[in-house]
């Protein structure tokens, strides 16, 4: 199918085509770009670098109810989620974040051996409208970890911002079906396509950070006890901002909220992070990752060594959020560079 053109003043019309979806799009809240469910297309921010919190928060929210329960006498009645068939559309997802859903889905299914029904069902019901990254940030390095500022494959529909209009390309079957229905979309001209190509080329050139993920993977294996980890941990404050803003971090904690008056309760999962000492604390009181050294190491090992071992992919999409927002300026890029320098 050939590419289409969506004028920016047609966004409202485009939005209306998704009436049976929960429409999530980037909005500006107090200066932060966040993916929120919108009811008015005017709320959508079209001109943004990337969201502060990745769109993973839609499918894997900071707080998610797993099930609810209620006491009846001594019996417990479990009420499962009944909203898992809801459909979602994520508009304006950057290619790195679009790719992250695949990485997260890997975790939540573990080769089909251990499936998280809630996440996977939501993922299945989600349509991703990706958007090419015309101006990647200085902190971006998607090209080193299997991505690209114009990588389309992880989106169902892919948009390229041409200024006044978007070049629309349907990627998946789901996407094609939808675009086909939107007969009002104009066809793209060769000039449009040419411009998109140029933008893609320019964007890729703007990414200056290059790391060798494969090499790092090999080095990490042999350097579990390398002094570099102490160095990395030295300035870390141990907050976990990196994990909370990471599009591929999947750690969660499960808690129980019990309402003592109605005797009803909920089992909830909330974001957690391996940077928190409590995360790895065992019931016995033993903590296998007692200090920041082990915890900092774990986060990097997980992305660049354990994940590749499990799924043959790097567990990082190179979005640069952890680089930009680390309070201690513990720059992942520099750390990876240093690891690369370790002599094996």
Partner 1 sequence: MGLEEDNKKIEESMRETARKLLEDKEVDAVIGYTEGTLPMSSMAMVITRAEDVDKLIWNNYCYINLATYLVPRIAQLVDPEKGDLKVGVISKGCVGRAIIHLKVEGQLNLDNVKIIGIPCNGIIDRKRIEKEIGQKEILEVSTSGNEIIVKGRDFEEKFAFDEYILNVCKQCKVKSPPNVDDACVGECQEIESVSDDYSDLAEFEALSAEEKWNHITELLEQCTKCHACREACPMCYCNLCFVDQNKPIWFGKTTDLSDIIVFHLIRSIHLVGRCVACGACTSVCPMGIDLNLLIRKVERIAKDRFDFTSGLSSKVMPPMMDFSMNDSQEFMLEED
Partner 2 sequence: MSEEEEEIRIGVFVCHCGSNIGGYIDCKSIAEWAKSLPHVVFTQDNLYTCSETGLAQIKKGVNENNLNRVIVASCTPRTHEPLFRSCIQEEGVNPYLFNFVNIRDQNTWVHQKEPEKAFEKAKELIAMGVAKAAKLEPLEKIIVDTTPTALVIGAGVAGITAALSMANQGFETHLVEKEAEIGGKLNILDKLYPTNQDASELLKSLKKRVNDNTNLTVYTSASVKSIEGFIGNFEIEIEQNGNVKELTIGVIIVAVGASLFTPTGLFNYDGQKRITQAELETLLKNNQVESSNVVMIQCVGSRIEERKYCSSVCCMVALKNALEIKERNPKANVTILFRDLYTPGTYYEDYYRRAREAGVIFIEYAPEKMPIVEDNQVRVHNEYLGQDILIPYDLVVLSTPLVSNEDNKDIAQMLKVPLEENGFFLEAHVKLRPMDFATDGVYICGSAKWPVDITESIAQGYAAASRASTIISHSTLEVEGATSSLPEYNRNLCTGCEVCITVCPYKAISKDENDEILIQQVLCKGCGVCGATCTNHAIVIRHFTDDQILSEILAFGGQYDGV
Partner 3 sequence: MTQTETKTESEEWTPKIIAFLCNWCSYAGADLAGVSRIQYPPNIRIVRVPCSGRVSPFFIIKSLMDGWDGVVISGCHPGDCHYISGNLVARRRFGIIRDVLEFFGIEPGRVNFMWASAAEGERFAVLIRKATKIIKELGPIKKF
Residues that bind partner 2 (CB under 8 A): 71, 256, 258, 260-263, 265, 285
d(CA 79, CA 82): 8
Residue numbers 186-245 binding partner 1 by CB under 8 A: 234-235, 237-241, 244-245
From partner 2, partner 3, partner 1, none, interface partner of 71 (C-beta below 5 to 8 A by class): partner 2
Q: How far is CA 170 from the centre of its chain?
A: 21
Q: How far apart are CA 176 and CA 157, in angstroms?
A: 8
- Rule CB under 8 A: is residue 256 a binding residue for partner 3? no
Residue 68: Cβ within 10 Å count: 16
d(CA 303, CA 286) in angstroms, rounded, equals: 25
For residue 160, the minimal CB distance to partner 1 (Å) is 18
Task: Considering the complex, state which of residue 94 and residue 295 has its C-beta at the smaller distance from partner 2.
Answer: 295
> Which tokens go with 128?
């991703």
Nearer to partner 1, 5 or 45 (CB): 45
Of residues 166, 203, 198, the one with CA closest to residue 3: 166
Retrieve residue 318's tokens. Answer: 């190179």
Q: Which is nearer to partner 2, 2 or 261 (CB)?
A: 261
Handedness of CA 160, 129, 249, 109 (dihedral sign): negative
For partner 1, the closer of residues 171 and 335 by Cβ is 335
Q: Which does 285 bind (CB under 5 to 8 A by kind): partner 3, partner 2, partner 1, none?
A: partner 2
Quote the least distance from Cβ 214 to partner 1, whole Å: 24
Return all residues near 104 (Cβ < 8 A) that are at least 6 apart: 56, 59, 60, 119, 123, 247, 248, 250
Please enumerate in sequence order all residues whose Cβ is within 8 A of that of 183, keeping only pairs 6 or more positions apart, or say none.
none
For the segment 128-167, give every residue that binds partner 3 (CB under 8 A). none
Structure tokens at 196: 């998109």
Q: Which residues between 74 and 103 bind partner 1 (CB under 8 A)? A: none
Interface with partner 1 (CB under 8 A), residue from 49, 84, 313, 342: 49
Measured from the CB of residue 260, what is the shortest distance to partner 2 in angstroms?
5
With respect to partner 3, which residue has the nearer C-beta, 52 or 264? 264
Would you count residue 198 as binding partner 3 (CB under 8 A)?
A: no
Q: Which of 148, 154, 153 is nearest to 136 (CA)?
A: 148
| Phi, then psi, of 334 in degrees rounded to 5 | -65, -35
Give me Rg for the CA atoms of the chain. 22
The minimum distance between CB 261 and partner 2, in angstroms, equals: 4
The reply on whether position 259 binds partner 3 by CB under 8 A is yes
- Which chain residues interact with partner 3 by CB under 8 A? 259-261
- Which chain residues interact with partner 1 by CB under 8 A? 29-33, 45, 47-49, 52-53, 62-63, 135, 137-139, 234-235, 237-241, 244-245, 253, 255, 257, 268, 270-271, 273, 276-278, 323-325, 327-331, 333-334
């Amino acid at each position: 199918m050939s590419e289409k053109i969506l004028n920016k003043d047609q966004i409202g019309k485009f939005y209306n085509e998704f009436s049976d979806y929960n429409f999530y799009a980037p909005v500006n809240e107090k200066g932060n770009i966040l993916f929120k469910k919108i009811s008015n297309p005017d709320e959508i921010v079209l001109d943004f670098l990337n969201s502060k919190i990745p769109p993973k928060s839609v499918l894997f929210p900071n707080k998610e109810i797993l099930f609810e329960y209620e006491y009846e006498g001594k019996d417990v009645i479990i009420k499962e989620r009944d909203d898992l068939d809801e459909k979602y559309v994520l508009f304006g997802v950057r290619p790195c974040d679009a790719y992250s859903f695949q990485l997260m889905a890997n975790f939540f299914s573990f080769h089909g051996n251990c499936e998280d029904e809630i996440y996977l069902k939501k993922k299945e019901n989600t349509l991703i409208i990706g958007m090419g990254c015309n101006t990647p940030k200085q902190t971006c390095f998607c090209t080193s970890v299997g991505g690209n500022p114009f990588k389309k494959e992880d989106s169902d529909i892919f948009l390229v911002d041409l200024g006044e209009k978007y070049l629309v390309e349907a990627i998946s079957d789901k996407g094609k079906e939808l675009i086909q229905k939107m007969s009002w979309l104009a066809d793209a001209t060769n000039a449009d396509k040419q411009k998109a190509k140029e933008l893609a080329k320019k964007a890729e050139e703007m990414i200056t950070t290059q790391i060798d993920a494969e090499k790092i993977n090999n080095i990490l294996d042999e350097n579990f006890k390398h002094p570099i980890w102490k160095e990395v941990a030295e300035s870390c404050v141990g907050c976990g901002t990196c994990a909370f803003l990471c599009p591929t971090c999947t750690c969660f904690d499960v808690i129980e909220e019990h309402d003592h008056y109605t005797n009803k309760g909920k089992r909830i999962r909330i974001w957690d992070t391996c940077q928190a000492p409590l995360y790895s604390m065992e019931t016995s009181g033993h903590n296998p990752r007692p200090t920041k050294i082990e915890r900092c190491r774990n986060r990097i090992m997980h992305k660049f060594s354990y994940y590749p071992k499990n799924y043959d992919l790097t567990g990082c999409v190179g979005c640069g959020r952890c680089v930009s927002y680390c309070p201690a300026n513990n720059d992942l890029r520099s750390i990876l560079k240093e690891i690369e320098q370790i002599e094996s």
